[in-house]
Amino acid sequence: MNNKKKVRTKGKLQLSKYFQEFEEGEAVAVVRELSIRANFPSRLQGRTGTIECKRGKAYIVNLKDQEKNKKFLIEPIHLKKIKQTK
């Protein structure tokens, strides 16, 4: 798990990541931004899921946690778009 940021990026936020937009059904990976406190469990770091909808400034992400599908409300700075292969 990633516990430290590199020296040059410590304390900085990328505004492009903070204001990124996602479409419904898009595949995303959960990647914690270490300079902002995450409001989701740390066991979700690195998991992949799909965007269900937008609620306020955050997104509802459908993730599979152990054997169940669960919905988490995650801010866009903690999400990263991924390409889904079929």
In a domain, 18, yes or no: yes
Residues of the chain with pLDDT under 70: 1-2
Query: Residue 86: inside a domain, yes or no?
Result: no
Q: CA–CA separation, 29 vs 56, rounded Å?
A: 20
Q: Provide the residue range defining the domain that includes 64.
A: 14-81
Note the pLDDT of residue 3.
Answer: 73
Is the alpha carbon torsion for 73, 78, 83, 86 positive or negative?
A: negative
End-to-end CA distance of the chain: 28
C-beta of residue 34 within 8 angstroms of C-beta of residue 43: no
Total tally of structural domains belonging to the chain: 1
pLDDT at 2: 64
User: Domain for residue 1, yes or no?
Assistant: no
Whole-structure pTM value: 0.83
Q: What is the pLDDT at residue 74? A: 94
